[in-house]
Chain A
Amino acid sequence: MSKWVINENLCKGCGICIARCPLKILAFADHLTPKGVHPAAMTDEAKCTSCAICARSCPDVAIEIYKEEK
């Protein structure tokens, strides 16, 4: 299971999460959603710290964040 889960039906491709990711590991995907936008996508999940800044910044509450339990 991923740490970073996006609901592409909610994403409007505004890019705020991409701009705010402190590790710059989010980018626009090449594919289009049914709404016709390039959704945000994770490029390097291994680096993700599950800080959730992307999810908290998302105006459409499209992102869910999980963290590995120690």
Chain B
Amino acid sequence: MAEKVLMKGNEAIGEAAVLAGCRYYFGYPITPQSELPAYLSKRLPEVDGVFVQAESEVAAINMVYGAGSAGARVMTSSSSPGISLKQEGISYIAGAEIPCMLVNVVRGGPGLGNIAPAQSDYWQATRGGGHGDYRTLVLAPNSVQEMADMTVAGFEFADRFRNPVLLLSDGVLGQMMEPVTLPDPVDYDVNSKKWALGYNGKEKSERNLCSSIFLDVDELEEHNWHLYQKYQVMTDLFSTGEYKDFAVEEHLCDDAEIILVGYGIISRILKTVVEKCRKRGIKAGLVRPKVLWPYPAQVFERLAKTANQFLVVEMSCGQMVEDVKLSVNGKKPVYFFGRTGGTIPSDFEILNEVDKLVRPD
């Protein structure tokens, strides 16, 4: 077992990316994710990598598009307003099926909002965000260890599915220091992708094209259904296939009357709430989606048969709650509790909500 080191979440993402074979990072400064580019600007040159501080988020994501097209493992990171600027490029990257790793250390919005932690980019993250029929794989860690592990997994998923992968974090996780066991280094070969620009194993007559334009209506329809099929494969793998355990964590759900639902930093608070509930005789359980798209709907379908009600807690005015409602599909009531603007709900106020639901008088 490797030794544990104490790291900030944002730095753990950076080191894990390097260990995953990422040698290219393109970004633009924004709070609260600055530790990540700062870390990589120091670390990447040590491994003959490239760090470029771009002129804008728009330029940064297009550098990612170029580097990913050329076959590299590449990453960019930002926070909410910056991710909005990157959506155009992410749409092109998804359309052209270029693997890459994106990190959103979410802050409060809309607009400039503030720099406090938030979960209000859930819709943007899970619905595609940019224009067109596309999906990004969305991973939601809740610890520094998971930030490292999911970064490594994210690069693997990106390559396997030829799809952008988004790590959805927040200001608390990014700044939090925890002991972490770093993953083993991966030896990544930039010439491992036959479709990449400049791939050196081509026959002389072959040429590669990375593009998202299909002017002919039949061709675009065929391409869109091809993407859809890929997303279906991903959905199957993360719901019933080999990644089903990766996609979700369940805690004390088997006999639970009320299921609390939350991802990221909220899920840690919810775990405390569940324990306090149990001590008070309330049979509470926790579902923590670790993958936000494809959404682990199958878990809710199953638990809707045994539990009486669901309470979704988010640092937003209610976004993921829609996916829970879609998954529960009217079989049981789904309630919501949220704080927004940068306030993290306390276990006490969530417990209070549970009390109101379980003991209505």
Contact between A and B in the complex (any CB pair below 8 Å): no
